[in-house]
Structure 1
Amino acid sequence: MARAYSVGPIQRHQVDRAYLLVEASGYEVDLTEWREFCGAAFARQHISLYTAEIVTVENPRGHIPGLGIARAMHDHLYGQLLDVPVFLVISAGDTPGVSDALLEYLRTVARNRRCRFIRIARTDPASWPDPRGECLRPGRGMLIPVQ
């Protein structure tokens, strides 16, 4: 059965529902910190090429089974890449579909920002990004070429 997902920048009404993924994944971020993190993204007046973006995958029932945080950056070895310190998918019935939807959105973002690679970090509760989206331990993760 084909499932349709809405994928895009987090919306204000999704903040608390998206927090359920953050909490379930073991990141030590409480709801207040998560709301502040999202609030900083909403408060930005000017979106730049290097601004962190919080991305959600929403199913037709309004549940959020996927979440990512991404920002373009320059890596001394790989050049321009899309760094994804947070890539979370929790789905009882369609993990591959949710993952594919989130990854396809990230590929589009990477192409638009002229990135050669996407670097997806492993889930690491010690590596929650700061409000600018920077990972505490940059440079780790799986590299995916952008075509």
Structure 2
Amino acid sequence: MASDAFRREQILVAVNPRGYIQGLSIFRHFKHPILGALLDVVFLCAISAADERGVAEGLFASINLRAKELKCARVRFWNQGPDNWQRMRDETQFNRLDHGLMVWVANSPR
């Protein structure tokens, strides 16, 4: 996990035992006006020649754990688009519910 005091985004990196980066996720904890606490995942990439599924599952599990720690009931995975970085800094775009994939956090109250 890495973050910067001046930015809202956090970076999650999946590293194999040899120290090679195999996955990357960038997300932001956000208080949505309708949904409440929300973890917004703007970027997710799993890379592995032998175990891409395992890397992806590890990233998803870590994101789910982080969402639980932050008391989020949902995680939104943004559609991959070239304008995501601009859109995520625009509060009107961020508040919309018509983009991305919304996932319930495991073991959260519904």
What's the TM-score, normalizing by structure 2?
0.77
Which of 74, 77, 83 is equivalent to 1:126? 83
**Aligned pairs (5 A) from 1:24-103:** 41-42=3-4, 44=5, 51-103=8-60
Shift of 1:135: 5.1
Which one has the bigger helix percentage?
1
Please give the secondary structure, in 2, of the residue aligned with 1:114. coil
Which one has the bigger strand percentage?
2
Shift of 1:126: 2.3
1:145 aligns with 104
For the aligned residue pairs, the C-alpha RMSD in angstroms reads: 2.4
The structure-2 alpha-carbon separation of the partners of 1:129 and 1:63, relative to structure 1 and needing over 3 Å to count, comes to farther
Check the 8 A contact 1:81/1:117 in 2, yes or no: yes
| Structure 1: 4+ residue segments shifted above 4 A | none
1:106 aligns with 63
Please give the secondary structure, in 1, of the residue aligned with 2:65. helix
Shift of 1:114: 0.7
Q: Which structure has the higher relative contact order (CA within 8 Å, separation 6+)?
A: 1
Q: Provide structure 1 residue ranges, at least 5 long, that are not aligned to the other structure.
A: 1-8, 11-40
Q: Deviations over 1:70-89 (max 9, x none)?
A: 11112233221101111111
Q: Deviations over 1:14-62 (max 9, x none)?
A: xxxxxxxxxxxxxxxxxxxxxxxxxxx45x28xxxx9321110001122
Report how many aligned residue pairs link the two structures: 101
Distance in 2 (alpha carbons) for counterparts of 1:83 and 1:135? 12
